[in-house]
Amino acid sequence: MLFYNIVVLSVLNTVWCINLRKFPTGFKFGAATAAYQIEGAWNVSDKGVSIWDTFVHNNPGAIKNDETGDIAADSYHNWQADIDIASDIGLHFYRFSVSWPRLLPTGYVNNKSEDGKNYYNKLIDGLLAKGIEPIVTLYHWDLPQPIQDLGGWTNPLIAEYFADYANYVFSLFGDRVKIWITINEAISVCDFAYNSGILAPGIKEPIYATYLCNKHILIAHAKAYRIYEKYYRPRQHGKVSFANNLLWIEPLTPADEELAELGLQHTAGRYSHPIYSKKGGWPLSIVKVMEEYSKKQGFHSSRLPRFTNEEIQLIRGSYDFYAFNHYTTRLIRPAQPGEDIGFWFLTGSPELNAVLVADPSWP
Ligand SMILES: *[C@@H]1O[C@H](CO)[C@@H](O)[C@H](O)[C@H]1NC(C)=O
Ligand SMILES: *[C@@H]1O[C@H](CO)[C@@H](O)[C@H](O)[C@H]1NC(C)=O
């Protein structure tokens, strides 16, 4: 793995030198936001309440200075000024997310907000008028509260509710939007949220919730993809995928190479192998680790839920491109006896009995 990286780096260096570090012609630059981060207007018109609205309002101390997204950048009101800025800085594309409870106040398709629909129509038309391509994320973490009240991503029926929502969004905006991301950073929604409890919905349940969420979010994505494939792509000609959060993991010492590969399977593989591999389903190395660790904990079967063959086929191949957000890389090593391991992204993984560290020499 190290050797491979060195080769890639030297090839890239050569390319950069030859081209004076110019990006290739046709490379597109853009910017990205999420509805809860920028829209504000959490309670205007008939917008429903999301799990982030509930979380920030009901958990004093959970957010530094008890700040909220109630107003945020107020892009709900300032959308035209924001488009003008995007145009001034020369963006080729702008990625934003649709707020599910702004469009469907209770989360379900029997209750549609005219105001929500108008807001996203204005935004999309405004971007296109400036020659900026809209890229739309369907879910960037602001789940309608009534769906959370039924168990949120741990409830298998959420895949149906998400598919209905996705179908509605494609029908409204698919004539103008040609690149779609179903779910942004599922590992944050499932692992990071349920293993820590520090993100909405503020529930810490690292035993089953993390892995139920992992399974259901993949099925929800795949159902949305299949709807697009069948009913929209023939006339709208767009592309749909899923956006992973890829933490890259390297071995701390040569003895940790196998562990580094397992670490990548546990973070990236659980959210990629079912969709993008030829065989589909969970990475086999993770099935084995989860089975062994669950038994060691005293469970009779693996905490990683099984997929039916039908589910494997539904999910496998449900993509038109590979997408990821990348922030950083960590080194992995085995945990020391009695060491506090914590959870992925902050420190480590109990399942792998491993810890992530940064090399102190990195700037
Ligand atoms: C639709 O959503 C609004 C806003 O949350 C709510 O007041 C209303 O009762 C809902 N209607 C139905 C039919 O669910
Ligand atoms: C909306 O929320 C704000 C706080 O962000 C509050 O001041 C205002 O009264 C609320 N408006 C309605 C209509 O509930």
Most informative mutation of 43, 49, 52, 56 for ligand 2 (most atoms within 8 A of CB): 43
Position in ligand 1 atom list of the atom nearest CA 108: 14
Cα(123) to ligand 1 centroid in Å equals 24
Contact 335, 348 (CB under 8 A): yes
Cα(43) to ligand 2 centroid in Å equals 6
Q: What ranges in 105-202 are assigned the alpha helix state H?
A: 114-129, 145-148, 158-173, 186-187, 193-196
User: Does residue 319 sit in helix, strand or coil?
Assistant: coil
Cα(42) to ligand 2 centroid in Å equals 8
Ligand 1 within 6 A of CB of 111: yes
CATH architecture of the domain with range 26-330: Alpha-Beta Barrel (3.20)
pLDDT at res. 244: 97
Ligand 1 within 6 A of CB of 48: yes
Contact 147, 160 (CB under 8 A): no
For the chain, the first-to-last Cα distance in angstroms comes to: 22
Extents of the domains making up the chain: 26-330
Ligand 1 within 6 A of CB of 116: no
Question: Which residue, judged by its Cα, is nearest atom 6 of ligand 2?
Answer: 43
Question: Which residue, judged by its Cα, is nearest atom 14 of ligand 1?
Answer: 111
Instruction: Identify the nearest ligand to the CA of 57 by its number.
Output: 2
One digit per residue, the tens of pLDDT, for the chain of length 363 reads 333 333 344 444 445 555 578 889 999 999 999 999 999 999 999 999 999 999 999 999 999 999 999 999 999 999 999 999 999 999 999 999 999 999 999 999 999 999 999 999 999 999 999 999 999 999 999 999 999 999 999 999 999 999 999 999 999 999 999 999 999 999 999 999 999 999 999 999 999 999 999 999 999 999 999 999 999 999 999 999 999 999 999 999 999 999 999 999 999 999 999 999 999 999 999 999 999 999 999 999 999 999 999 999 999 999 999 999 999 999 999 999 999 998 887 888 999 999 999 998 988
Ligand 1 within 6 A of CB of 105: yes
Measure the CA angle with vertex 113, ends 111 and 115; round to 5°.
170
pTM: 0.93
Ligand 2 within 6 A of CB of 43: yes
Ligand 2 within 6 A of CB of 125: no
The sheet that has 30-32: what strands, in order across it? 30-32, 93-97, 133-139, 179-184, 239-245, 323-325
